[in-house]
Amino acid sequence: MIPVIIGATFILFVLVFALPGEPWQGRCGERECPASYIEAFKREYNLDKPLLLQYLLYLGKLVQGDLGVNFYNNRVIDELAVRYPTTVKLALIAIAVEIVIGIAAGLLAGINKGRFLDSLVVVSTLVVVSIPVFVIGSVSQWGVLQLHLNDIFPVTAAQGTIKQLILPGFVLGSLSVAYVARLTRTNLVENLRADYVRTARAKGLSTGRVIGVHTLRNSLIPVVTFIGYDFGSLMGGAIVTERIFNINGIGGFIFRSISQRDGVSVVGAVTVLVLVYLVANLLVDLLYGVLDPRISHD
């Protein structure tokens, strides 16, 4: 994990701070900033030092749990602490949606391969994958307003409550639902043709036990891999979904920081995202042994 964190933060640091333009532009209104202000700004944020030295100074703070102070004199860790609870709730709702609906749809399609339910799931997921998220979000808002369901599913989530995040969570998880359903179906159909399934049925095991205890568990291994990756992605914030539903989360924070050339905030937020990715993948590796006892972690 340590080499990944160092490599990712270094590449990101170089990309962010090597971009053309200056972070102090526009901070003095329409007039040019005085030379004394620019020099003081550079000294405060170590911008007067070589890029490699800037990174080493930042890394020294990072190992102490300090994500730095952004260009507006706010601690990045405080900015993230305000927004991450909202993003975590949104991500958990989206993950729950894709697990419950996606696996259930894939299971129904796999069991009924070649029948109406199978065709319905395949066509429906293909339609969902083909539609951009901002269209799904806008249409869902319009539908809720037309059906007068705004009291149940608010179309904005400025406060970030669970009730307000249900609709955005469904929208955010819609694309992943399609992928999880198709992935579950494909692996289930493949495993239903395996020798161990025929052996289990020959021993007289019921269809429900064959699928629920044996086939489905093996079919979920690639699904768990995808969900673990997707959770890390969702924890980074969904910029489009957060902007549509006016959510004060990490996605909006990263977008605004990039627009304002606030490199410290961008590097700090993405560093936390890298850590989330690593932890999510670690949990996925541990779940492999639960789903398939043949996999050893010794």
Full pLDDT tens readout for the chain, 298 residues: 788 888 888 888 888 777 666 777 766 766 777 788 778 888 887 777 888 888 888 888 888 888 888 878 888 888 888 888 888 888 889 999 989 999 899 988 888 888 888 899 889 988 888 888 888 888 888 888 777 787 788 888 877 788 888 888 888 888 889 899 999 888 888 888 877 777 777 777 777 777 777 787 778 888 888 887 787 777 765 778 888 888 888 888 888 888 777 888 888 888 888 888 788 777 777 776 666 666 555 5
Which class for 138: exposed (0-12), middle (13-18), buried (19 or more C-beta within 10 A)?
A: middle
Q: Is residue 73 part of a domain?
A: no
Query: CA geometry: angle at 107 spanning 101 and 109, to 5°?
Result: 100
> CATH number for the domain including 213?
1.10.3720.10
Cβ distance 17 to 71 under 8 Å? no
Domain check: are 50 and 173 in the same one? no
Q: Rounded CA gap, 225 and 229, in Å? A: 6
Domain check: are 116 and 264 in the same one? yes
Of 29, 62, 95, the domain-final residue: 62
Q: Each residue of 79-96: b (16+ CB within 10 Å) or e?
A: bbeebbebbebbbbbbbe
Report the number of distinct structural domains present in the chain.
Answer: 2
> Which of 230, 235, 232 has its CA nearest to residue 88?
235
Cβ distance 233 to 91 under 8 Å? no
Radius of gyration of the chain (CA): 24
Q: Is residue 180 part of a domain?
A: yes
The confidence score (pLDDT) of residue 156 equals: 81
Query: CA geometry: angle at 57 spanning 265 and 261, to 5°?
Result: 25
Domain check: are 42 and 176 in the same one? no
The confidence score (pLDDT) of residue 57 equals: 85
Q: Is residue 68 part of a domain?
A: no
Domain check: are 101 and 150 in the same one? yes
The confidence score (pLDDT) of residue 32 equals: 77
The confidence score (pLDDT) of residue 215 equals: 81
Domain check: are 182 and 269 in the same one? yes
Domain check: are 184 and 49 in the same one? no
> Which of 154, 153, 107, 98 has its CA nearest to residue 129?
98
Q: CA 76, 79, 81, 87 torsion: positive or negative?
A: negative
Output the CA torsion 136→142→143→148 (10° steps): 150
The H-or-E segment that residue 252 falls in is: helix 250-259
Expressed as residue numbers, the domain containing 24 is 2-62
The confidence score (pLDDT) of residue 27 equals: 66
* DSSP codes of every residue in 124-168: HHHHHHHS-HHHHHHHHHHHHHHTT-TTTS-S--SS--HHHHHHH
CA-CA distances (angstroms) from residue 236 to 109, 242, 250, 270? 31, 11, 6, 7
Domain check: are 29 and 176 in the same one? no
Q: Is residue 297 part of a domain?
A: no
Domain check: are 90 and 53 in the same one? no
Q: Is residue 139 part of a domain?
A: yes
Helix (H, G, I), strand (E, B) or coil at 216: helix
Domain check: are 17 and 88 in the same one? no
Q: Rounded CA gap, 51 and 125, in Å? A: 47
Q: Is residue 72 part of a domain?
A: no
Domain check: are 258 and 191 in the same one? yes
- Reported as half-sphere exposure (CB side, CA atoms, 13 A), residue 169 has a value of 25
- Reported as half-sphere exposure (CB side, CA atoms, 13 A), residue 246 has a value of 8
> Which of 275, 266, 283, 285 has its CA nearest to residue 23?
266
Q: Is residue 196 part of a domain?
A: yes
Q: How many helices (H) and strands (E) does the chain have?
A: 14, 0
Residue 295's φ and ψ, nearest 5 degrees, are: -85, 125
> Which of 128, 147, 125 has its CA nearest to residue 136?
128
The confidence score (pLDDT) of residue 242 equals: 83
> Which of 68, 89, 88 has its CA nearest to residue 77?
68
Domain check: are 15 and 87 in the same one? no
Q: Is residue 207 part of a domain?
A: yes
Domain check: are 54 and 87 in the same one? no
